[in-house]
Amino acid sequence: MANGQWSCAVLLCFLTLTLEVRDGFGMVKPASRACIIGAGYSGLGTARFMKEHGVNFTVFEATRYLGGTWRFDPHVGTDEDGLPMFTSMYKNLRINTPRLTMEYTGFPFPEETQSYPTGECFYKYLKLFAKQFDLVQHIQFRSLVTSIKWADDHWDVTYMKTDTKMNHTEQCDFVAVASGEFSSPVWPKFDGQETFKGKMIHSHDYKDPEDYRNRRVLIVGAGPSGLDLAIHLSNVTAKLVHSHHLRYNQPFFSDTYVKKPDIKMFTSNGVIFQDGSFEEVDDVIFCTGYDFTHPFLDKSVGITASGKFVLPLYQHTVNIRHPTLAFVGVSKKILNKVLEAQGEYVAALAAGKFELPSQEAMLKAWLTHVRALKAKGMRLVDVNTIDNDADNYFANITEEAGIYRRPPVLSDIRVFNARYRLEDLLNYRDFDYQIVDDHNYKRWYNPRKGNPCPIDI
C-alpha cells in the first residue's frame, strides 16, 4: 500500500483477519444513551435529528463554544484553555459554495441573504439553528474526548474537563463521531526549510490580511484556501508569490502577484522553484490541506484510521465491526448537505428506525465501493470520497433508512459552482441562486456591498 496504492486482494485478506464476519446484526436497538463527539455543523445536525427521534443524547464539545471551524477565534496555536485550535476561520472569509447546498433542512437563511454569506454570518446561522432546536442544553462544553473504547456491550467515552483537568468516563450505547477534519494541518517538507529565517505558518493559523501588509509573502497550494488567500492578500502585500500547479482560468490579481511552479528548496531568505527561478520572501503560508485526526479511537473500536482515511465504513458512516459507532463528516469532496444527511441517517440508526444488513453484506458493499474507486484509478487515500456521486448517495441512504431525500438539484449546483469558481474566481460569489424545483435552479448577478447579514441573534 505504499504511496497510497492498494490491492483489493490485500485489503480483503486484511479485513477477513480483522473482522469476525457474522450474520444477524439486524436492527440496532434504540439507544438508551447516545453520545455525539463535536458541536460543529455535523454534530449540531446530528443532534437535531437525535432529538426529533426522542433519543437521549449528550454532545461532548472540547471548547467553550459551538460551531466548530465556523467560529472565528483570534488565538493562534492554542485556545484560552490550552487546547489546540480546532477552528480554521479567518477574517473576511466568505463561503465558496452557495448556501442552498449548506442549509439545514427546513431551516433556511432569511430569503434576502446573499448566496455566498460571510463566515461570520454562517456562524450566526449555526447559533440560531442551535437556539431554534433547543440544542445547547444537550451540549457539554469544555469536555475533550480522549478515549472511545468498546466494553463488551457498550462504549466507554472518556473525556477531560478543561476547566478542572479531571478525567471522567461515561457509558454510551451509541456514539456518533462528528469531530470534523480541519484541525490537523498537513505540513510539507522541502530541502533547506529549516534554514529559512522568515515566518512560516499553515493556513490553519492565518487570521487577518493586515498582518501581511507590505510584506513579501509566498502562498503554497491552490486549493480553496490557497485561492481565497490569494484574493485576500494580492492587494495588501508588497509582493505575493503563489506556488502551485493548478490549471484554471487565472484572473488578474494585481501587479504584485507572481505565479510560480512547485518548490524545489528554501534558502535563508527565499525560495528556489522547480524552474530554477528564485524569489526573496518574508513570510510563507502553507495552504496544503488537513489530515484526519481521531486520537481518541481505541484499537477495540475495530477501525483503521490514519491521517488520510478511515475504514471500513458502511455507507461512509457505520463502523462495520461495531455498528453502534458511526462517523459523520469523514467523507471527502462533498457538499455540506451530505453531512446533514449522514447525521439524519445516524440518528435514525441510533433510534432503531431501520435495520442494517448483515456484517458480511456491509463488508461486501464496502469492497464494491473499493473496487469501483480502483477501477477509476483512485488510491487508498480516496476511500472516503463521494465527490460527484452525492445524488446516488442521497438516494441509497434514503431508501435504506427512510430519511428525507435531498433533491438532485443540490448536486447540480455543487458541480456547476466547482467548475465556475475556477472560471471566474474573482466574481463567482456575486451571483445569487434560487431552487426552482427538485431538478432546476436559477442564477443571476446580484453583487452586494459590504456583504450584509440579515441574521441577528
The percent of residues in the chain predicted with pLDDT above 90, rounded, is 91
| In-domain check, residue 81 | yes
| In-domain check, residue 155 | yes
Sign of CA dihedral 97, 100, 101, 103: positive
Question: Is pLDDT above 80 for 346?
Answer: yes
**Is there a single domain that holds both residue 258 and residue 303?**
no
**Is there a single domain that holds both residue 54 and residue 159?**
yes
Lowest average pLDDT, out of 14-18, 201-205, 284-288, 451-455, goes to: 14-18
Residues 271-299 have pLDDT tens digits of 999 999 999 999 999 999 999 999 999 99
Question: Is pLDDT above 60 for 335?
Answer: yes
**Is there a single domain that holds both residue 180 and residue 257?**
no
**Band of pLDDT at residue 219, cut at 50, 70 and 90:** very high
**Is there a single domain that holds both residue 321 and residue 384?**
yes
**Is there a single domain that holds both residue 376 and residue 234?**
no
- Average pLDDT of every residue of the chain: 94
| In-domain check, residue 8 | no
The percent of residues in the chain predicted with pLDDT above 70, rounded, is 94
| In-domain check, residue 74 | yes
**Is there a single domain that holds both residue 280 and residue 295?**
no
**Band of pLDDT at residue 24, cut at 50, 70 and 90:** very low
Question: Is pLDDT above 70 for 371?
Answer: yes
Domain count, the chain: 2
In this structure, are residues 313 and 397 in contact, taking their beta carbons and an 8 Å threshold? no
**Is there a single domain that holds both residue 88 and residue 148?**
yes
Which among 368, 360, 403 is positioned nearest to 389, based on CA atoms?
368
pLDDT of residue 17: 41
| In-domain check, residue 18 | no
Residue 26: which residues within 8 A CB-CB, separation 6 or more? Answer: 355, 356, 358
**Is there a single domain that holds both residue 252 and residue 352?**
no
Q: Which domain holds residue 219?
A: 193-286
pTM confidence score: 0.94
**Is there a single domain that holds both residue 303 and residue 162?**
yes
Which 3-state string (H, E, C) describes 172-232? ECEEEECCCCCCCECCCCCECHHHCCCEEEEHHHCCCHHHHCCCEEEEECCCHHHHHHHHH
| In-domain check, residue 453 | no
Which among 165, 159, 157 is positioned nearest to 82, based on CA atoms?
165
Report how far residue 117's alpha carbon sits from residue 454's, in angstroms, rounded to the nearest whole number: 10
Q: For residues 50-55, give the mean pLDDT.
A: 98
Question: Is pLDDT above 80 for 13?
Answer: no
**Is there a single domain that holds both residue 230 and residue 118?**
no
In this structure, are residues 164 and 237 in contact, taking their beta carbons and an 8 Å threshold? no
Name the pairing type of β-strands 167-172 and 270-273.
unpaired
Which among 252, 250, 217 is positioned nearest to 236, based on CA atoms?
217
pLDDT of residue 5: 55
163 by DSSP, 3-state: which? coil
Question: Is pLDDT above 60 for 378?
Answer: yes
Question: Is pLDDT above 70 for 332?
Answer: yes
Q: For residues 93-98, give the mean pLDDT.
A: 97
| In-domain check, residue 10 | no
Report how far residue 76's alpha carbon sits from residue 201's, in angstroms, rounded to the nearest whole number: 10
Q: Which of 262, 286, 310 is the last residue of a domain?
A: 286
Report how far residue 412's alpha carbon sits from residue 28's, in angstroms, rounded to the nearest whole number: 34
Sign of CA dihedral 362, 154, 67, 105: positive
**Is there a single domain that holds both residue 361 and residue 272?**
no
Q: Which of 370, 390, 410 is the last residue of a domain?
A: 410
**Is there a single domain that holds both residue 123 and residue 256?**
no
Residues 224-250 have pLDDT tens digits of 999 999 999 999 999 999 999 999 999
CATH of the domain at 71: 3.50.50.60
Report how far residue 387's alpha carbon sits from residue 438's, in angstroms, rounded to the nearest whole number: 20
pLDDT of residue 421: 98
Residues 120-179 have pLDDT tens digits of 999 999 999 999 999 999 999 999 999 999 999 999 999 999 999 999 999 999 999 999
Phi/psi region, residue 79 (left: phi>0; alpha: psi -120 to 50; beta: rest), is: beta
pLDDT of residue 326: 98
| In-domain check, residue 399 | yes
pLDDT of residue 15: 53
Which among 288, 285, 289 is positioned nearest to 232, based on CA atoms?
285
Q: Which of 227, 260, 286 is the last residue of a domain?
A: 286
Question: Is pLDDT above 90 for 3?
Answer: no
pLDDT of residue 457: 80
Q: For residues 45-55, give the mean pLDDT.
A: 98
Name the pairing type of β-strands 263-266 and 270-273.
antiparallel
